[in-house]
Structure 1
Amino acid sequence: MSVFDLGYMVGLVPVLLKYVPLTLGMASVSMALALVLACLLAVVRVVRVPVLNQFTKLFISFFRGTPLLVQLFLFYYGLPQLFPSLTAMTGVTAAIIGLTLHFSAYMAESIRAAIIGVDRSQWEAAQSIGMTTAQMMRRIILPQAARVAAPTLVNYFIDLIKSTSLAFTLGVTELMGAAQKEAASSFLYFETFIVVAIFYWVIVEVLSFVQQALEARLSKAVAR
């Protein structure tokens, strides 16, 4: 057996390529759900809704203060112990829930900072024409905050994609899970994990390019 099997690596590419859609699918669904939840959490924190504000603080503190892997295990292995009906929950579902809640906590703080950063005169102008808080947030504040927070949110999406690799611990055969199985059957661990690392690297580089293009576009918009 050769020390470095290049042929095996080349042959592994189409095998792992089949699992990229699942990895990106989990990341995209989790990101969409996390973004909606993060906006709600951020608005609650900014407006300081009674009771909900305290609950939101606790939620953010917990999901930012505990490891993602622990959270995934808690949802997939722990909750069914308390709620037997959840034993039917698949690893993909548990992974999406865990990723959504974990990243929404981080994104909420970024969005909250962006909302606070909107010029106070915008708030006052909206209130002076009789807008409700919901209307003001939806029509004026959040669109401006989104422009500021967008580059940071792309960074979170990049981190989220890399974090999907933890889904294999729940039995999900995504990109990392497939690589783990291939390595275990071939015993070519170095070659296998180099290939999977390159897969993640390429995906992240593409998203980094998108992020740079987005930042350039937003900078032009602000300059106008």
Structure 2
Amino acid sequence: MMGLAPILLKYLPLTLEMAAAGMLCALVLASLLAIIRVLRIPVLNGATLLFISFFRGTPLLVQLFLFYYGLPQVLAILTQVNGITATILGLTLHFSAYMAESIRAAIVGIDRSQTEAALSIGMTNAQLMRRIILPQATRVAVPTLMNYFIDMIKSTSLAFTLGVTELMGATQKEASGSFLYFEAFLVVAIIYWVVVETLSLLQRWLEKRLNKAFVR
């Protein structure tokens, strides 16, 4: 069993890279969606609600199959998209729908009096959002966003269904080739567990760091 660990660990960087890329893109998209929801921008707000409803209401695996197998039949240019890109796209769109609502809730939770005070001294909405709202909302949203990142890392295990040889895909191949199914899946479970626990420790450290100024 110990001999499987070094083999599988070689594929961990790809798993983390896909999760990190998906998280970064999802964070940017979710922030835009949240701002649209908060400001209730005409037309865009309705489109945002539809987007969130669809990607929260359908399984990630279905979305991955749709992007990788379905859409290329409609748009020929998408036949050039490989499994890694499709996985990152799926993670981005799926998790941004959840993250947008978390960010929106964090923004809405900021005391209204701060908004009124900022506008009264001549700040624009953009300045208000950048200097006052978003810094405070970040402190509130970080724990939830870290949880989504952890979920995203675990969700990369679906990439093997698109032919991507990441951590889970490599485990499948090793198990099939050696017939050591129990050992292979136990090792990969431990790897995921260690990664998640490490990120959980980082999450707790970040929470303490961000809340330090608010503790009396």
**TM-score band, normalised by shorter chain:** over 0.9
- What is the letter of the counterpart of residue 34 of structure 1? A
One-letter amino acid of the counterpart of residue 187, structure 2 = V
Equivalent position SS for 1:49: coil
Per-residue deviation, 1:218: 2.4
- Determine which of 36, 47, 50 is the counterpart of 2:39: 47
Q: CA deviation at 1:130?
A: 1.9
Structure 1: gaps spanning 5 or more residues: 1-8
- Name the stretch that deviates more: 67-76 or 135-144: 135-144
Task: List runs of 5+ in structure 2 lacking aligned partners.
Answer: none
Whether 1:16 aligns to 2:24 is no
4+ residue runs over 4 A deviation: none
Offset of 1:219 from its aligned partner? 2.6
Q: Once the 2 structures are TM-superposed, how far is the Cα of residue 136 of structure 1 from its aligned partner?
A: 1.3
Alignment equivalent of 1:105, drawn from 80, 88, 97: 97
Aligned partner of 1:194 among 183, 186, 189:
186
Shift of 1:56: 0.3
Q: How many residues align?
A: 216
- Tell me, yes or no, if structure 1 residue 117 matches structure 2 residue 109: yes
Deviation of 1:164 after TM superposition, in Å, equals: 0.3
Which residue identity is paired with 1:39? S
Which whole-Å CA distance do the structure 2 matches of 1:76 and 1:54 have between them? 27
RMSD of aligned Cα (Å): 0.8
AA aligned to 2:153 is I
Counterpart amino acid of residue 131 in structure 1: M
Q: How far is 1:122 from its partner?
A: 1.3
- Kindly provide the amino acid, as one letter, of the partner of residue 24 in structure 1: L
Cα distance, 1:189 vs structure 2 = 0.6
Q: What TM-score, normalized by structure 1, do the two folds share?
A: 0.95
Give secondary structure in 2 for the equivalent of 1:131.
coil
The amino acid of 1:99's aligned partner reads: L
Instruction: Give the equivalent residue in structure 1 for 2:80.
Output: 88
**How many angstroms apart in 2 are the aligned matches of 1:170 and 1:127?**
50
1:153-188: CA deviation from partner (whole Å, max 9, x where unpaired): 100000000000000000000000000000111111
Q: Letter of the 2:131 partner, please give it.
A: R
- State yes or no: 1:128 paired with 2:96: no
Q: Which residue of the other structure, out of 32, 37, 54, is the alignment partner of 2:24? A: 32
- Separation in structure 1 between the aligned mates of residue 138 and residue 95 of structure 2, nearest angstrom: 17
- 1:139 matched to which residue of 2? 131
Aligned counterparts of 1:121 and 1:178: Cα–Cα separation in 2 = 54
Asked if the contact 2:139–2:211 (Cα under 8 Å) also holds between the matched residues in 1, the reply is: no
**Aligned equivalent of 1:216, options 201, 205, 208:** 208
TM-score (norm 2): 0.98
